[in-house]
Amino acid sequence: MSKPVLDFCNYVLTQSEPPPDKDMLVFFQCSVSRPYSKSPSHASMRKAVRLATGKDPREDFGDCRCHVVVLRSVIGPVPYEMDDTYPADEPGGGIKHMSPEQYAFAKPLLAEPLAAYLRKWHTRYRVITTFTHDGYGSVMEKAKDLAGVDFPVYPVSNGA
Q: Per residue in 48-80, pLDDT tens? A: 999 999 999 999 999 999 999 999 988 889 999
Comparing CA positions, the residue from 86, 81, 83 lying closest to residue 21 is 81
Please report how many Cα atoms fall inside a 13 Å half-sphere around the Cα of residue 47, on the Cβ side.
6
In the prediction, which pLDDT does 73 show? 83
Please compute the mean of the pLDDT values over residues 144-160 and round it to a whole number. 86
Q: End-to-end CA distance of the chain, in Å? A: 35
Report d(CA 106, CA 103) in Å as an integer. Answer: 5
The pairing of strands 24-29 and 127-131 is parallel
Q: Average the pLDDT over each of 3-17, 45-59, 89-103 and give the range with the smallest value.
A: 89-103
In the prediction, which pLDDT does 54 show? 96
Confidence of residue 33 (pLDDT cuts 50, 70, 90): confident
In the prediction, which pLDDT does 159 show? 59
In the prediction, which pLDDT does 92 show? 78
Report d(CA 79, CA 57) in Å as an integer. Answer: 11
Calculate ∠ Cα 29-33-35, nearest 5°: 85
What's the burial of 146, exposed, middle or buried (CB within 10 Å: 0-12/13-18/19+)? middle
Q: Per residue in 95-109, pLDDT tens? A: 888 899 999 998 998
Confidence of residue 113 (pLDDT cuts 50, 70, 90): very high
Residues of the chain above pLDDT 90, percent = 78
Confidence of residue 91 (pLDDT cuts 50, 70, 90): confident
Q: Per residue in 126-136, pLDDT tens? A: 999 999 988 99
Confidence of residue 158 (pLDDT cuts 50, 70, 90): low
Indicate if the pLDDT at residue 119 is higher than 70.
yes
Chain Cα centroid distance, residue 72: 7
